[in-house]
């Protein structure tokens, strides 16, 4: 019997396989361009980034027409506070200035109510907009996401609907050189990386996609109590 993670990865692959095979991709028009966003993220441990970086090297050899997310920038997006692709009625820096203290105080409480955990990457999937590494468990992250949605009064323009826990490895600059070969290469890759999660990061994104960021707050999670 397939695990829930395997089932979700399989469903995601099937949903996008034909689009990728036909090179019907959503290209990254913002790549390496200045941007502005305020995000809640998980910072990966160095060993996890290195493991995912080796997968990036393998896949880049199989498909040269990919935009590689630098290893040092690899992270998990938990929630947007002011989203990079959304337009707001006022500049994002101005909105942040008005709400930063209140949002950060509530995020600190949410972090304190959430226990530290470990994520494990298991599958690599190509969607029509990116190549991602899927991680489990999703429960702790989605619990934090729900609390953010319920307890922070974010602008209506900010839409947090994600339920995947993932790290983006590549985006697309245009058509793949050989999409079917690339999909076959993905099938042979098995993500084996883990990372302890003991804090949330509030960051300001300056160059898309997180090529340049500024850490604004580090919010500790509650340490797990050792079992007796």
pLDDT tens-digit readout, 46-98: 999 999 999 999 999 989 899 999 999 999 999 999 999 999 999 999 999 99
In a domain, 56, yes or no: yes
Mean pLDDT value of segment 163-191: 92
* Residues whose CB falls within 8 Å of the CB of residue 75, separated by 6 or more in sequence, listed in order: 41, 42, 43, 44, 167, 201, 210
Backbone angles phi, psi at 71, to 5 degrees: -55, -40
pLDDT of 90-133, one tens digit each?
Answer: 999 999 999 999 999 999 999 999 999 999 998 999 999 999 99
| CATH code, 107 | 3.90.1140.10
In a domain, 164, yes or no: yes
In a domain, 64, yes or no: yes
Total domains present in the chain: 1
In a domain, 58, yes or no: yes
Tell me which residue range forms the domain holding 177.
4-217
In a domain, 91, yes or no: yes
In a domain, 223, yes or no: no
- Listing DSSP states for 70-115 in one string gives PGGG-EEEEEEEE-TT---SS-HHHHHHHHHHHHHHHHHHHHHTSB
Pair of tokens at residue 43: 């910072």
* Cβ contact 132:167 at 8 Å: yes
């Amino acid at each position: 019997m397939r695990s829930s993670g395997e089932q979700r990865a399989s469903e995601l692959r099937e949903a996008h396989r034909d689009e990728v095979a036909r090179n019907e991709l959503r290209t990254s028009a913002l790549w390496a361009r200045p941007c502005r966003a305020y995000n809640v993220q998980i910072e990966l441990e160095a060993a996890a980034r290195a493991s995912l970086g080796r997968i990036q090297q393998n896949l880049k050899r199989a498909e040269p027409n990919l935009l590689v997310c630098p290893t040092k920038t690899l992270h998990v997006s938990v929630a947007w506070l002011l989203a990079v692709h959304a337009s707001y009625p006022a500049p994002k820096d101005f909105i942040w200035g008005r709400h930063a203290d209140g949002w950060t105080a509530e995020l600190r409480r949410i972090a304190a109510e959430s226990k530290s955990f470990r994520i494990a990457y298991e599958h690599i999937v190509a969607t029509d907009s990116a190549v991602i590494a899927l991680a489990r468990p999703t429960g702790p992250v989605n619990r934090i996401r729900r609390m953010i949605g319920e307890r922070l009064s974010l602008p209506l323009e900010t839409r947090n609907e994600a339920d995947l826990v993932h790290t983006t490895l590549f985006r697309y600059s245009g058509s793949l050189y050989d999409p079917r070969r690339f999909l076959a290469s993905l099938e042979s890759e098995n993500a084996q990386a883990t990372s302890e999660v003991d804090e949330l990061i509030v960051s300001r994104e300056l160059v898309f996609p997180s090529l340049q960021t500024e850490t604004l707050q580090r919010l500790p999670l509650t340490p797990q109590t050792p079992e007796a």
